[in-house]
Amino acid sequence: MKNTKALPPGSWLGMMGGGQLGRMFSSAASRLGYHVLVLDPGEVSPAGEVSARRIQRSYKDREALDEIASICPAVSTEFENVPSPSLAYLAEKGCRTAPLAEAVAISQDRSAEKAFIASTGVPVAPHLAILSDEDCVDADPDLFPGILKTARLGYDGKGQVSVDTPADLLQAYHSLGSVDCILEKKLQLKTECSVIVCRGFDGESATFPVFENHHKNGILAETVLPARIPEDAEAEARLYAIRIANGLKYIGVLCIEFFILEDGSVVANETAPRPHNSGHATIEACMTSQFEQQVRTMAGLPLGNTTLLSPAVMLNILGDSWETADGLKEPDWDAVLAIPGVKLHLYGKAEARHGRKMGHVTCLGKTPEEALERAKKVAVILRLPTPV
């Protein structure tokens, strides 16, 4: 690949997206001496607030893309729905893009994603593309009970409906707007987990310890690091993650969500072509964070050591923590920060809303048990689901 020489500190790195992942990326880049230029269309930009420069334009705006290409030798993304043609355009202009447009395009379509993962030999749930009413009528009864998901743009539980019987499928398909969907068979899950794999322009890769994830209403509520799963399942998940990244010729930071089934087998669920909510604990708990790895891959630097320094429990803070019987009220941050080993990250969002990710707390401990006890205290203060 061309233009893979290491970029020296003082270089500009482009970030497509202005959310909290871009915010944490910008902090990591700044610490290593890089300047970040953020492109996003929003009125409020958590990433732009802490970056050297921001362009408030559409991700498809050619003038804005030309400006990025003239300033930034490397560009990355902080959410999966950045238009892949924009990344391809930047690559044509000479930018090294991490990830590549082709990899992002696959991750943006669940049907293409499932087909690709299966092609690498990594197990996936039985599934069927639903593109018409006829597909609903002809669906194999063995796929039920299942989950119908929109093929594109779904996240945090949005764009999906449980379907218990074939009779439910047509109605569910119409409720999602009759857009392209995928039907996935529900499996007997024991644990949901994720693996973050980092892969450089030289093809070298590294994985973090497996993250154990717990969701509420389709939104990640808690991540435990390291995952409480058998060693052979952890090794298999990390191996599968590298296989998928290699197959995609992926550059950058990639998250793969996995299911550990009741029989102990490991099944890939979906990918996210960026750092991931489940990896936030790496900022304090690992030798190198997922965001520093994103900087390193973009800049053509050696990958960092992913060794776990401390067990951790990460809790998402939603806008719900501001909600009281008397209206919105600022949570008791003093009480949270009085707990030893607690690290608070707030994302600078202007308005707290129900279900909106406003920040996270990472609770560290000398042992997994100590980290969990501290997380339980935080959960009481912020009225979060009790960690398990």
| Sheet with 160-163, edge to edge strand ranges | 127-130, 181-185, 146-150, 160-163
Q: Which of 192, 188, 187, 185 is nearest to 166 (CA)?
A: 185
> Count of residues for the chain?
388
Residue 270 assigned to a binding site: yes
Residue 56 assigned to a binding site: no
Residue 329 assigned to a binding site: no
Cα(283)–Cα(246) distance, rounded to whole angstroms? 25
Non-local CB neighbours of 54 within 8 Å, separated by 6+ positions:
18, 37, 38, 39, 40, 45, 47, 48
DSSP structural state of residue 251: -
Residue 185 assigned to a binding site: yes
Cα(40)–Cα(64) distance, rounded to whole angstroms? 10
Residue 187 assigned to a binding site: yes
Residue 355 assigned to a binding site: no
Residue 34 assigned to a binding site: no
Contact 79, 274 (CB under 8 A): yes
Residue 184 assigned to a binding site: yes
Residue 213 assigned to a binding site: no
Residue 215 assigned to a binding site: yes
Residue 53 assigned to a binding site: no
Residue 318 assigned to a binding site: no
State the pairing for strand pair 146-150/181-185.
antiparallel
Residue 155 assigned to a binding site: yes
Residue 156 assigned to a binding site: yes
Residue 269 assigned to a binding site: yes
| Residues in binding site | 110, 149, 154-160, 184-187, 192, 215, 269-270
| Residues in binding site for ATP | 110, 149, 154-160, 184-187, 192, 215, 269-270
